Structure 1
Amino acid sequence: MKLSAILWFLFLAFIIIFVDIITKQEIMHVMYLYEKYKLTSFLNILYCRNYGIAFSILSEGKNWQRWFFIVFTISIIIFMLVTMYYSDFNNVVYTAYTLIIGGAFSNLIDRISNGFVVDFIDFHIKNLHFATFNIADCSIFIGLILLITKTFEF
């Protein structure tokens, strides 16, 4: 792989991490926990803390889950980096891996430094609220969609 491609993927991961960390820091500094700002009829900014993983799964643990998620996330990041290193170059797949790695790394920083992940994007339809998430989660989700579509060639 060319150096320019490597630099592009590193830059993309850095942008994801930077934007995610800046938005989370801003939310924590200007809002109280569980404070909500209505932006539109379907979107709120809601500051909350996620001690678990997606949809707050395993958030009720006695702090063991923090360390489990840290080790798990580091393992996933290493696995994806090794996979990228040994696989044939494919722009879509590498972009997907980069989105996932950038998002996972940013949430990892949150989990290590705070003990939780800051979530703040709250989509809803009337009173039906979906999971609250952040920029890193969006990045991971888009990366997974890219991988799925590339794998099944939709």
Structure 2
Amino acid sequence: MKKENFYNKKRYSWIYIVIIIFFADIFSKYWIFKHFSLYQIKKIFFICNIFYVHNYGAAFSLLSNQNGWQKWLFSLISIITILNMIYVNITEQKKNDIISYSFIIGGAIGNLFDRVFYGCVIDFIDLHIDGYHFATFNIADLSIFIGVTIIIMKKYVNNKK
């Protein structure tokens, strides 16, 4: 039986997904930072605004009203998650899992970058219907959501068979 080469290019192609997501997230946040004032709103579509905010907490601004310790907690959780998913991507052979984990890694690195360099996460995508607004998010959050959704859907479809 032939042993797969550890340095096989295809084995690490998932890194391209991570890099694309990371740079799309960082550049979009930089553009918002340079062209918008904090709390500025600009209507894009009838259900979507750009609304520039700083999130000092986690998802849905969880723990955002603390004294700053949460930055380190969320950074540590991000680092552990990123390292775990990188390990899984290196050792995993299932393409669907690798893609979903790559989306999560790219998003987690994007938000970790913000926490380390800005002390908060820059959010700017505001979806709403009439006066009901969903939590404001960014490209990193969206990629994490896509990765988790792929994992859940795959588990759901596999359990249905």
Per-residue CA distance 1:22-57 (angstroms, 9 max, x = gap): 000010111000000001111000100100011000
Letter in 2 for 1:37: K
Count of residues in correspondence between the two structures:
153
Letter in 2 for 1:90: K
Partner of 1:139: 143
Partner of 2:27: 22
SS at match of 1:118: strand
Partner of 1:79: 84
Once the two structures are TM-superposed, the CA of residue 152 in structure 1 deviates from its matched residue by 2.2
Q: Does 2:48 correspond to 1:51?
A: no
Work out the CA distance in 1 between the residues paired with 2:85 and 2:100. Answer: 10
Deviating above 6 A after TM superposition, structure 1's stretches of 4 or more consecutive aligned residues are none
Work out the CA distance in 2 between the residues paired with 1:52 and 1:69. Answer: 8
- After TM superposition, the structure 1 stretch with the greater mean CA deviation from structure 2, 120-129 or 7-16, is 7-16
Work out the CA distance in 1 between the residues paired with 2:155 and 2:29. Answer: 32
Higher alpha-carbon Rg: 2
Work out the CA distance in 2 between the residues paired with 1:74 and 1:16. Answer: 17
Q: TM-score, normalised by structure 2?
A: 0.90
Q: Does 2:125 correspond to 1:121?
A: yes
Letter in 2 for 1:16: I
Work out the CA distance in 2 between the residues paired with 1:84 and 1:12. Answer: 12
Question: Identical aligned pairs, as a percentage?
Answer: 41
Q: TM-score, normalised by structure 1?
A: 0.94
Partner of 1:149: 153
CA contact (8 A) 2:22 2:107 kept: yes
Once the two structures are TM-superposed, the CA of residue 86 in structure 1 deviates from its matched residue by 3.1
Indicate the RMSD between aligned Cα atoms, in angstroms. Answer: 1.3
What runs of 5+ residues in structure 2 fail to find an aligned partner?
A: none
